[in-house]
Amino acid sequence: MANSSIILLALVTILTAGGPALESTPMLIDDISRSDGCSPAGACWTVFSDRVMGGLSEARAETGTEDGRRHLRLHGRVTLANNGGFIQTALDLGEGDAPLDARAFSGIRLEVKTADLGTGYALHLRTPDCILPWHHYKAEIPAGAGWRTVIIPFAEFRAYRLENPLDTRRLLRLGLVAGGGEFPADLRVRRIELVGKEGHE
């Protein structure tokens, strides 16, 4: 009986102590605290546009300050000319060549501000399953006015031109994207983090 009680106590301790599958503390991706365009982990944001495939959209990414807080700003002009239609700034995840294992989390929370009501903006994720340059997993950033906090569950990301579902064990890169039409883009973010189920409450 004593041995059974010890085993039961050990099992309860393991289940309540947490671990990768039970982790609830948010994981910071970037709080834009550095002025050099890099995250606290040392990865740096890169900016590119449809010009890599012949498009004509124009993109810039830079850090700035608003209301006493730093933010990352992606802005420029998106055009569908010459089969284009997007601008993007992206950040590598994980360490070195090792992907980020995000199984402990259920989605991404970000503080964001967009021009107008914010239509035409999205998050992209890439994993090792994204072989070709245009492969990605996409989720729309909800429209709204002013600075706001939004949570985008991993379940909302949809595969683009590939069949594999999103594998949150192997995240390689996160992208902030403006596209899908012709418009002057302006997307600002001042915090991005991974959150668990309780982060949706």
Q: Identify the pLDDT of residue 91.
A: 98
Contact 168, 105 (CB under 8 A): yes
Model confidence band, residue 24 (pLDDT cutoffs 50, 70, 90) = low
pLDDT at 188 over 90: yes
CA distance 178 to 132: 20
Looking at residues 83-103, what average pLDDT do you find?
Answer: 94
Type of residue numbered 121: Y
CA dihedral over 29, 58, 143, 157, signed as positive or negative? negative
Q: Identify the pLDDT of residue 97.
A: 80
Q: What is the pLDDT of residues 158-180, one digit of tens each?
A: 999 999 999 999 999 999 999 99
Tell me the average pLDDT of the chain: 88
Between the alpha carbon of residue 145 and those of residues 13, 58, 59, 114, 148, the distances in Å are 45, 24, 22, 7, 8
Spatial CB neighbours of 12, under 8 Å, sequence gap ≥ 6: none
Q: Please, what are the domains in the chain?
A: 25-200 (2.60.120.430)
Q: What is the pLDDT of residues 110-134, one digit of tens each?
A: 999 998 777 899 999 999 999 999 9
